[in-house]
Structure 1
Amino acid sequence: MELRMSEIHAIQTELEQINEKITSVQSISFMVDLAGQLAAWLAFSGEQMAIAKKKWRAAKVRAYDNYAFSKAASGLKITPSVATDYAQARSGDEESDYEHCERVNKAITHTLDVLRTCISALKAEQFAFQYSGNQ
């Protein structure tokens, strides 16, 4: 499995546009279709989070091992906290990818919540309109 950050960036761009559409479009069927798209993106971004986290952990392990073994070979003693800090710093790109995937995933979740609320409000308005005698 490969990390597809370009698709995560594309989803983020789409989310920004969707937020504008949610407030301007008054169609329940449009919003239901949009919810389906968001659900697919939620699954994809969750998968990408898992891949990114796996790559981040592997990068930390490699950096830790390289640092610890190189210092041990040199005869230098290092504290575990220094080695951990070094590994964390060396795996910053992978950490950034994971955090970006996580933020997009959370944004999708919040957008779905807003969408659900809008659908409920539109249904309530429809119901009130139908039973107020304005058919």
Structure 2
Amino acid sequence: MKNEIATAEQISRELKIIQSVIEVEMNEDIQEAVDRGNYCAAQIARTGKLLADAKIHRDRKLSSEVIDNLKKVTSLPALTANKFVDAICFDENYLVNWCERVNRSCTHQMDWCRTLISKAKAEMTAFPSGT
């Protein structure tokens, strides 16, 4: 179990690996669906942790930069200040967004695997082998 906060580079490296796996098109082979479902289940948990770590990096950067630029930020209109803050944390926001998208993609793929497995079970019930 990894309890330490992953660096931005570690997060990015892991997301690239997960992304490369979930981008592979899956056929309707049941064993492949089971394997992919198991993989996605584990990655949902892992990307949740990576997301939390990415948010910590963003929050740290945000608090540091806002304090350094407090006069500038407080003198800006609210909408402009928000855009300024987003610009300060551009890389961190990208990492947070990527973690969220990979997490959701794993969730959707796991749902698809569940659908394929349910379909196969229904077909086996409707058309039992050997009859």
Fold agreement, TM-score > 0.5:
yes
Moved more, 84-93 or 115-124: 84-93
Instruction: In structure 1, list runs of 5 or more residues that go unmatched.
Output: 72-76
Q: 2 CA distance for matches of 1:42 and 1:55?
A: 20
Give the Å deviation of 1:24: 4.1
Q: Secondary structure at the match of 2:127?
A: helix
Maintained 8 Å contact 2:51/2:96: yes
Q: Secondary structure at the match of 1:2?
A: coil
Maintained 8 Å contact 1:68/1:83: no
Q: Secondary structure at the match of 2:23?
A: helix
Alignment of 1:76-91 (within 5 A): 78-79=75-76, 81=78, 82-91=80-89
Alignment of 1:7-26 (within 5 A): 7-17=14-24, 20-21=25-26, 23-25=27-29
Match of 2:41 in 1: 39
Match of 1:74 in 2: none
Q: Secondary structure at the match of 2:6?
A: coil
Q: Percent same amino acid among aligned pairs?
A: 30
**Amino acid paired to 1:11:** I
Maintained 8 Å contact 2:28/2:116: no
Give the Å deviation of 1:93: 0.4
Matched length: 123
Instruction: In structure 2, list runs of 5 or more residues that go unmatched.
Output: none
Match of 2:51 in 1: 49
The structure that has the greater radius of gyration is: 1
Q: 2 CA distance for matches of 1:80 and 1:62?
A: 20
CA offsets 1:49-88 (integer angstroms, 9 cap, x no match): 111111111111111111125x5xxxxx724635443222
Q: 2 CA distance for matches of 1:39 and 1:100?
A: 18
2:9 paired with 1:2 = no
Q: 2 CA distance for matches of 1:67 and 1:84?
A: 13
**Amino acid paired to 1:100:** W
Aligned-residue RMSD, C-alpha = 2.2
**Amino acid paired to 2:110:** L
Q: TM-score with structure 2 length normalisation?
A: 0.82
Give the Å deviation of 1:36: 1.6
Match of 2:120 in 1: 122
- Displaced runs of 4 or more, over 3 A: 82-85
